Structure 1
Amino acid sequence: MEEKSVPQHFLDTSVLRSLLLGTQVYKQYFESQFTDQQLYLSNYVQMEMKRSYLINLISFYFVLRLETINNIGDAIALWSNRFKASELKAILQLIPQLFSTHQLNFSSTQDKETALSILVIYIKRFEILLRKKFNNTNIDSTACARALVPLTLDLKNPAVGLKQFADEFGDVETCRSKCQIDQFLLVQYQKEIEQFISQADQLPKTSNTRGFIKIAQNLKEILAQGAVACNCKRCEKIGDAVIALNAPRSMQLEHTDNSFDYLCSTINQPHYKHPSENQIVTNINRQT
C-alpha cells in the first residue's frame, strides 16, 4: 500500500498572522498541524502582513515618540481613539507580545523611553522573522513593489529608517507604477476572474459567502474599468483572490477565511480551512 504524500503548506495571511500573533492555544493548534513540515509564503503574503501589522507598529512608534505623550498608557489611549478597528487590533496584539514580557509601567515617563527602544528592536526582529522563518515560493506574478520595500534600521537613530520604510511603503502611486497587478488580473487570470464573478452571481448572500461576493464585485469592476481600476487600495480588497490565484497548485493553501472555499474550488487549488481562534479556544474550554 502506497504511503499518502504529505502536502506542502502555503500559508494565507490569516494563518501566518495566527502563527505569529495568536493566543498560545491557537499557536499550539497550528504547530500541531504543521509539525516538522516546511511552510511557504509568497512576497505578496509578506506584504499583507507588513501592511496589516508592521506598518501599524511603526505608526504606533511615532505616536509614542510624541513629546505630548508622557507614557505608554497615553499612547495606547490616543491610538484607540484615533484609529480604526484593524489598526487597534495590531497594537492589542503587540502589547502581550512585547510590553508585558518587559514588566513596563504604562504610567511611567521613564518607561516610555525603554518602550521605544524595545519596540524598535521588536520591529526589526519581526521583519527579519517574516523573511527568514518561512520558505519563500519566489513566485509573485503580481510583481508587488510594496513587498520589496526594504527596512533598513540604525538602532542609534531608528526614526529615520522607520520613516523611510513607512513613506516608501505608503507611496502607493510609485509602487503601483512598478507592479503588474493589471496584467495578473486582466490577462494572466482573466478566465479565472470571470469564473469567480459568475459563481458569485449564483450564490445567496450569507455570512459564509459575503466575503467572496465582495471580492467578486471588486473584480467585476476591474474587468469593466480595466487597468485604471487596479490600485493598492483595491488590491487590499481582493487580496484573497490574488493569494489563491498565485498559490502553487502543488501546495495546499492553509487559511481560515470562508472566501477561499469558493476561490480555491473554482480554480482547483488544494486548500484547507482551519477552525477560527474562537472555535479552538471555546472547544478547549468546553472540554475542561
Structure 2
Amino acid sequence: MPTKIPADAPALIVPEFGRIELGRRPVAHPGPGKVLIRTDFTGVSVGTEMLAATGERPSWGPAPFTPGYQGVGHIVAFGDGEERHGLTLGEAVACFGDGTHGAYFVADLELTYPIEETDSYHMAALFVPAAVGLNAIDKAGLESGDTVLVLGQGLIGQATAMLARDRGAYVVVSEVSPERRAISAAHCADRVIDGSAGSPWSQLQPDFPDGFDMVIESTGVAALIDSALECLRFEGTMVFEGVYPDQVSFTYELAHERQINAVFPWFIGTSEVRRTVLRRIVSGELDFDPLITNQVNWTEADATYRRLFTPERNHLNGIVIDWRGAE
C-alpha cells in the first residue's frame, strides 16, 4: 500500500457512450462521510455495466465517466470529520460506490465494510450480485422446500439461485447463453432449461403442473414478465428482481386470477444482508470462483471491457480486474 497518494492514477474511462479506454483520472479527496480506497480488485457485472456504459440506462451521469460500482481494497484516507464507522486506515474493505474501476476510488462510509484478506478476498469484489440475491429471497420469504424458478442467469440470477438452493429450495433456472447454462448447471441450480427453446411454462408444465411457489424474474426484460407469471401456482410469489424501464406492462388476468403475491426488492438490502454475504464469500462458504470467467490485470482491463459492447458479452460471466500495482 503506498505511503503517498498520487495526484492521478490509472482508471477505465468511458469517453462517450459505447466506448472504453484505459487512461488516468485525478485521485479525489474524500468529502465528509466518504473514504478513499486504494483498489485491489473490482468486479464487473456484465449486463448492468453494459447498459450503463452504452447509455441505455445511464447510471453514472453523462460521459466522460469511470464505470464500476463494486470493489475491494484498503482505506488510505478518510473525509473531513470524525465519522469513521469503526474503520481504520489501512484496513481491508469491500465497497459499493460509483466509478470503482480505477487504482483509487471514493466510497460512502455507510457502504464500506471490513473484510478479511483470505484466499477468497478477490471474490468479494463481486459481492453486490449476491447481496441483491439475498435481499430478494429474504423479502420474498423463501422457505426450505419451496420450488423456485429464476429467469436469467447473469451474475445476479446465478447468485440468487445459489442462495435459494442453499436455503433448501428446489431451484430451476432459465438462460439463453449456453456458457451460462453450463455454469449454472454445475454450480447454481438443480435444473437448467434453455430460455431460447420455447416458453418456460411449455418446457416445465409436465413436471410442475401446479406451477412454482416462487418465480424470480432476473433478466430485466419486461417482455418476459408474462412468461414468469404463467409459471406460478395459485397464490405463488412473483419477485421483480430485474431493473426495468419506467413503464412496464403485463397481462393482468394472469396475476389476478391466481391471486399472485408480488415482491419488489431494491438495491443490496440492509447492512446485515451485506455483511452476511461478505462474510460467506471471504470464508469460502459462498464460492464465486466458478462464476468468474475472466480475471485480468488492470493493463488488459480496457480490452476485456470492450467486449461488453459486442455480442461477445454473452460468452462472459463474472469479471474481476486486478488493480494491484497500478500507479
Query: Of the two structures, which has the highest relative contact order with CA contacts closer than 8 Å and spacing of 6 or more?
Result: 1
Q: Normalising to structure 1: TM-score of the pair?
A: 0.26
* Larger helix fraction of residues: 1
* Larger strand fraction of residues: 2
Q: Normalising to structure 2: TM-score of the pair?
A: 0.23
